[in-house]
Chains A and B, each alone.
Chain A
Amino acid sequence: MPMTITEKILAAHAGRDRVVPGELINARVDLVLGNDITAPVAIKEFNKIGATDVFDRQRIALVPDHFTPNKDIKSAEQSKIVRDFAGKHQIVNYFDVGRMGIEHCLLPEQGLVGPGDLVIGADSHTCTYGALGAFSTGMGSTDIAAAMALGETWLKVPESLKFVFAGELKPWVGGKDLILRVIGDIGVDGALYRAMEFTGPTIENLSMDGRFTMCNMAVEAGAKNGIIPPDEITRAYVEGRCRRPCEFYRSDPDAEYVKVFKYDASKIEPQVAFPHLPENSRAVSEAGHVEIDQSVIGSCTNGRIEDLRDAAKVLQGKKVHKNVRLIILPGTQDIYLQALGEGLIETFVRAGAAVSTPTCGPCLGGHMGILAGGERCIATTNRNFAGRMGHTESEIYLSNPAVAAASAILGRIAGPWEVE
């Protein structure tokens, strides 16, 4: 019986030879994640269960990253709940301000997730780790509380959709553009309850950072998980990071998919998603004249070193438009250090950008760049829902980092080729 990579990982964690879509399974989890918004609710529920301790203090990751460094008293109180719980239960992977990063940049970087793992997190973008060939999915706080106590969770085995990309990418096109194009084609519920498997020669040549971006946004199509078959690029990334043994699963050639989508990747242009849904994507060249007030480069979608390099390439020797605030948020402390070492931070500051400590901050309208009514922002984040970044009458346009940088220079949505 052939299986997809998603089915193989689920079967292995359920102690089964095989599973089929639609089946409910109880699966062992390798890592459970919570942040400063979701963990306090999980901790409250955990305390109701009557468990004396967590299932494994090494396999829980707590990352206060959304409203940190804390923006107000209430959010500080929420973080304190997480800090106290981490202390009480001696949680090994607790990352506080100064050591932290945006959770989905941080966990892979720290080697806490690897190929073949099953990870659940109380954050919808937990699906990011599919880029490593892991099964990972977002859940709510109560599910996370149960998993912290039991070390297992219940899952419905999803059907799979396959997306095959062939062809060489055009200049300035990356993972963000591929995934925005896909969501534009299938819609924000086009993969509802399903697995999205990304394969093909283009993906085989895509860097880890590009792969993280693609799997990160699987949830924006409603998917349960996004996943990429692990290969030598994956191996090079996890070697020296992952302390646990990894399993490199691949889908069987005759595995079943609900639908297979084929893309000529060489025809895809840099994309921009118009308000107020990620499915409103179109080519930057067809965006028309859209003036902007703010540009945000960062987030769990595009806050990694390659993203910052792309932005710096565009911003090098240029100035941010006088009407634009450019805010850049490196994803983790390590990424920040690497960007410092490569001179990227100096490029940003000289261009007139504000560079922040790692935080989810403006992406969810938390802090560090909230929009006023009527303002427009181009952002490398993942959601452009009405009011997501502030006032309900503000607008968010999603793009890759090079486009966000070029737009910051020109004061309107623009492709990087326009500032070369």
Chain B
Amino acid sequence: MKLQGRAWKFGPDVDTDAIIPARYLNTSDPAELAEHCMEDAEPSFPPAFQNGDIFVAGKNFGCGSSREHAPIAIKAAGVSCVIARTFARIFYRNAFNIGLPIFESPEAAEDVREGDKLAVDACSGIITNLTTGRKYKSAPVPPFMQEIIAAGGLINHVSNRLKDKE
């Protein structure tokens, strides 16, 4: 899978309240959540997210609450993947479970500038900065997470397991 888009830069410790404020959690509709994605984190809100755009952030992206609404909102906003120095653990799980690709890459988090064009090879984890020509490595996706991705998300994975049990 190849992902390509413009970079939106965010700082460290972007919390889930910033990704999708709790005042909008009275719905679980992805399209509605997407309208408020990064409302409290992006100074230029409402941002002109284009399909395929990529979030690039510092350490501990997605810290705070367990709300799956956070990766759902990002995905529904058309963002193709998130690159960060590190991810908070519940966000990390949630992203895989709902099929939002994420990559841990301190190099990219450091070097990429807002608006750079990026291309990500999801299999190798190599991130290419098409604006500067630089390449960055990302941490390999653990084999178990690859299984979840291959199954098409956790729900399909569990469905298959339930069928095996019968």
Residues of B within 8 Å of A, CB-based: how many?
A: 41
Q: Say whether B88 contacts A189, CB under 8 Å.
A: yes
Interface membership of A298, Cβ < 8 A: no
Q: Quick one: which of B18, B65, B154 contacts A387, CB cutoff 8 A?
A: B18
Q: Say whether A385 contacts B162, CB under 8 Å.
A: no
Query: What is the 8 Å Cβ interface bit string for chain B, positions 34-73, against chain A (1 contact, 0 not)?
Result: 0000001000000000000000000110011111110110
| CB of B68 to closest CB in A, whole Å | 4
Q: Which residues of A contact B71 (CB under 8 A)?
A: 140
Q: Quick one: which of A37, A143, A150 contacts B67, CB cutoff 8 A?
A: A37
Binds B, one of A43-51, A244-252, A308-316, A318-326: A43-51
Interface membership of A263, Cβ < 8 A: no
A38 to B66 Cα, complex, angstroms: 8
Q: Say whether A366 contacts B17, CB under 8 Å.
A: no
Q: Quick one: which of A50, A75, A123, A224 contacts B66, CB cutoff 8 A?
A: A123
Q: Which residues of B contact A385 (CB under 8 A)?
A: 15, 17-18, 64
Q: Which residues of B contact A123 (CB under 8 A)?
A: 65-66
Q: Quick one: which of B23, B28, B64 contacts A383, CB cutoff 8 A?
A: B64
Binds A, one of B1-9, B90-98, B108-116, B117-125: B90-98
Interface membership of B159, Cβ < 8 A: yes
Query: What is the 8 Å Cβ interface bit string for chain A, positions 50-82, against chain B (1 contact, 0 not)?
Result: 110000000000000011000110110010000
A66 to B23 Cα, complex, angstroms: 11
Q: Quick one: which of B59, B72, B90 contacts A139, CB cutoff 8 A?
A: B90
A24 to B69 Cα, complex, angstroms: 26
Interface membership of A3, Cβ < 8 A: no
| CB of A57 to closest CB in B, whole Å | 17
Q: Quick one: which of A41, A50, A193, A387 contacts B40, CB cutoff 8 A?
A: A387
Interface membership of A294, Cβ < 8 A: no
Number of A-B contacts (CB under 8 A): 135
Q: Say whether B59 contacts A142, CB under 8 Å.
A: no
Q: Say whether B26 contacts A74, CB under 8 Å.
A: yes
A392 to B42 Cα, complex, angstroms: 12
| CB of A389 to closest CB in B, whole Å | 9
A222 to B92 Cα, complex, angstroms: 12
Q: Quick one: which of B26, B28, B63, B154 contacts A188, CB cutoff 8 A?
A: B63
Find the A residue at minimum CB distance from B15.
A385
Q: Say whether B86 contacts A386, CB under 8 Å.
A: no
Q: Say whether A78 contacts B159, CB under 8 Å.
A: no
Q: Quick one: which of A48, A219, A392 contacts B155, CB cutoff 8 A?
A: A48
| CB of B102 to closest CB in A, whole Å | 13
Find the B residue at minimum CB distance from A387.
B40
Q: Quick one: which of B17, B21, B63, B155 contacts A146, CB cutoff 8 A?
A: B155
Q: Which residues of B contact A75 (CB under 8 A)?
A: 26
| CB of A385 to closest CB in B, whole Å | 5
| Interface residues of A, Cβ cutoff 8 Å to B | 24, 37-38, 40-41, 44-45, 48-51, 66-67, 71-72, 74-75, 78, 121-124, 126, 138-143, 145-146, 149-150, 154, 188-189, 192-193, 219, 222, 224, 277, 364-366, 383, 385-388, 392
Going nearest first, the 8 A-B pairs with the smallest beta carbon separation are A140-B94, A74-B26, A140-B68, A142-B97, A75-B26, A189-B60, A364-B22, A124-B66
What are 9 A-B contacts with C-beta separation under 8 Å? A49-B159, A71-B26, A74-B26, A140-B93, A142-B154, A222-B63, A364-B65, A383-B17, A385-B15
